[in-house]
Amino acid sequence: MLNYTNLKHRPTDKELVCEFYVEPNRVTMEKACEQVAAESSIGTWTTISTMNPRAAEKLRPTVFSIKGNTVKIAYPQDLFEAGNMPEILSSIAGNIFGMKTVKNLRLNDIIFPKQIVKSFKGPRFGKEGVRKLTKVKERPFCGTIVKPKVGLNPAEHAKVAYEAWAGGLDVVKDDENLSSMTFNKFETRIAKTLDARDKAQTETGEKKIYMPNITAETMKMLDRADYVKSLGGEYIMVDILTCGWAGLQTVRDANLNMFIHAHRAGHAAFTRNPKHGISMKTIGRVARVIGVDQLHIGTAVGKMEGSAEDVISSQKGLEEDMFGIKPVLSVASGGLHPGHTPDLVKILGKDIVAQYGGGCHGHPEGTRAGATAIRQSIEAATKGISLKEYAKSKRELALALKKWG
């Protein structure tokens, strides 16, 4: 069989590098790593007569680092079809997770070579594009998700959105499981909610953003995006994991000239086990290369699982230099209320969208007051003033802190 290990190898700029967490199963670490490298590229479980020296020499990946359970493998870029994310992930994140030689296996990170990165469109606008659109320069963005997730009719949905915008929020979005139900048809909801957005913009003098969920069969998503655009919407939202990487590529490649808000519904099936699956940082890198403009990464302080270290790592992957493609705006969402805001900003900084669902609509005085309390908490965190001090002159914030702490 081929030898895939060379600890003296140094990756070139024409190799894709994966970092794995590997736990062997009744084999040595070296054997497990060899099997991961083989199964994710040109090899199989036994010697085969059809392997030729040319393919072996040109396309064989290299295990070049084994430190504890952390393993790095370099893959020649010719193993992959440029511009085809499903194929790339079918290789480096495919059959390997089911092999008997590994007890646990987690893809912690991917470093893409320039040729592969440039074969995708990347973000059209990115985080700086969001600031340019909204003219919000020095503070985090604040937003909400219409609640309940499902159950409201279009008029009720639009009213909740209006109250949130009027109370001071920048962003209102659909939740991940709202599409076009019998009680809330997509077209009617979009029209009414965008009308509410326009009203709020006129009254407040601030730019307001609505993110409608277009997730569906791929061609239906394109139809829905066109409809949103025809009514003056700038944003669309896509559940990127449930619609699939090919679906996301189709939406981005359609050149809709619209912002793509990426929801990560289903991510924990991949990311939650720290020893197995795929990290959120990796999912974020893939989404960024394809071309989303903003992406949920977690909060470290709300209801969802995820440490501050993991969330910061995910944010870094969305912002660090990657051959000139635009940085992606991080979205923090999941069980947030105004009392969380200072810690959230301390952990993730100001380049975030802070989204509060129940922490807005659960305010004792309703959605508008909840939105005002959120905006006040953002102002306090940005100015470096404690919430307790700021709440002395801000009734809405004081009521939120009394309820949630």
Instruction: Kindly give the residue spans of alpha helices, DSSP state H, lying in 167-307.
Output: 186-204, 218-230, 240-243, 245-253, 268-271, 280-290
User: Domain 15-117, what architecture?
Assistant: 2-Layer Sandwich (3.30)
- pLDDT for the residue numbered 305: 59
Q: Report the relative pairing of strands 171-173 and 209-211 from DSSP bridges.
A: parallel
Full-model pTM: 0.95
Read off φ and ψ for residue 314, nearest 5 degrees. -65, -45
Domain boundary assignment for the chain: 15-117, 126-404
The Cα-based distances of 46 to 28, 49, 346 in angstroms read: 17, 10, 52
- C-alpha of 243 from chain center: 13
- pLDDT for the residue numbered 134: 97
- pLDDT for the residue numbered 44: 80
The kind and range of the H/E element at 342 are helix 341-348
Given the structure tokens 């953002």, which residue do they identify? Answer: 378
- Which residues are paired to 6 by β-bridges? none
User: Domain 126-404, what architecture?
Assistant: Alpha-Beta Barrel (3.20)
Annotated catalytic sites, by residue? 147, 263
- The token pair at 348 is 């993730």
The angle subtended at Cα 188 by Cα 169 and Cα 211, nearest 5°, is 35
CA pair distance 307, 143, nearest whole angstrom: 22
Number of neighbouring beta carbons within 10 Å of residue 29: 15
Q: Which amino acid is at 89?
A: L
Each residue's pLDDT tens digit, 279-314: 999 999 999 999 999 999 998 786 655 688 999 999
Q: Using CB atoms within 10 A of its CB, is residue 90 exposed (0-12), middle (13-18) or buried (19+)?
A: middle
Each residue's pLDDT tens digit, 191-200: 999 999 999 9
**Consecutive 10-residue runs of the chain (405 residues): their mean pLDDT?**
90 98 97 95 83 85 98 97 97 96 98 98 98 96 96 98 98 96 97 98 98 98 98 98 97 96 96 96 98 94 74 96 97 94 95 96 98 98 97 98 96
